[in-house]
Amino acid sequence: MRFGFGFGFGFGSGLLLLPLMFGWICASELTFELPDNAKQCFYEDITIGTKCTLEFQVVTGGHYDVDCRLEDPDGTVLYKEMKKQYDSFTFTASRNGTHKFCFSNEFSTFTHKTVYFDFQVGDDPPLFPNENRVTALTQMESACVSIHEALKSVIDYQTHFRLREAQGRSRAEDLNTRVAFWSVGEAFILLVVSISQVLLLRSFFSDRKTTTTRLGS
């Protein structure tokens, strides 16, 4: 999947466990919402010897970090990182079967996060399914292939740029909220302190007057 515009994916409630599986394509990109104290797992069938890449980035939420864990069909942990903001991991599948990768937000109490991940399995399928690989490509065709690869990397850079922009915007909005609260709070504290200063000062002089009167009589 490639996203021309920013894309989000939300999970509805009603199911106790919702594993997600990609069966038909070679590369999957998804931006999904991870609620607080939740863990979301994805599964992918991979054949032995395939080179795969998992890349993820936290787009919005809290301290912009998430736990990630990748396991092979036997349960062996291939990759495990706690509280990572962005990472990329390449591996070669050593056995056939369903590999599983999970993102966990269990350390966070109330911030839900939006996480983007890109799971690339093997190479992209060729344009022609029954392409005859025996005959060499003409110069034009190989030029087209190299332009195609270059454009793919341009689209990839654009995706990263879009994610960074979304993350920057999210941080700026958090900052705006915090500054707004602080300003209102500070104005309120200012008023409270100035009024209580005056009242306290008045109370000092009121007591002394009573004492003076008693001493005089």
Find the shortest distance in angstroms from Cβ 106 to another protein: 19
| Residues of this chain that bind another protein (CB under 8 A) | 1-25, 30, 43, 127-129, 138, 140-141, 144-145, 147-148, 151-152, 154-155, 158, 161-162, 165-166, 169, 172, 176, 183, 186-187, 190-191, 194, 197-198, 201-202, 205, 209
Residue 82 or 182 with smaller CB distance to another protein? 182
CA-nearest of 96, 93, 56 to 78 is 93
Is the Cβ–Cβ distance between 41 and 101 less than 8 Å?
yes
* Spatial separation of the C-alpha atoms in residues 142 and 155, rounded to whole Å: 20
Find the shortest distance in angstroms from Cβ 133 to another protein: 13
Residue 22 or 86 with smaller CB distance to another protein? 22
Find the shortest distance in angstroms from Cβ 49 to another protein: 23
Calculate the alpha carbon distances from 52 to 12, 120, 153 in Å: 29, 5, 17
Q: Strands 51-60, 27-34: parallel, antiparallel or unpaired by DSSP?
A: unpaired
Find the shortest distance in angstroms from Cβ 6 to another protein: 4
Q: Does residue 170 come out as left (phi exceeding 0), alpha (psi in the -120 to 50 range) or beta?
A: alpha
Instruction: Please compute Rg for the chain using Cα positions.
Output: 29
Dig out the tokens for 97 from the structure.
Answer: 């079967």
Dig out the tokens for 179 from the structure.
Answer: 């500054």
Find the shortest distance in angstroms from Cβ 52 to another protein: 17
Find the shortest distance in angstroms from Cβ 143 to another protein: 9
CB atoms within 10 A of CB 61: 22
Residue 74 or 129 with smaller CB distance to another protein? 129
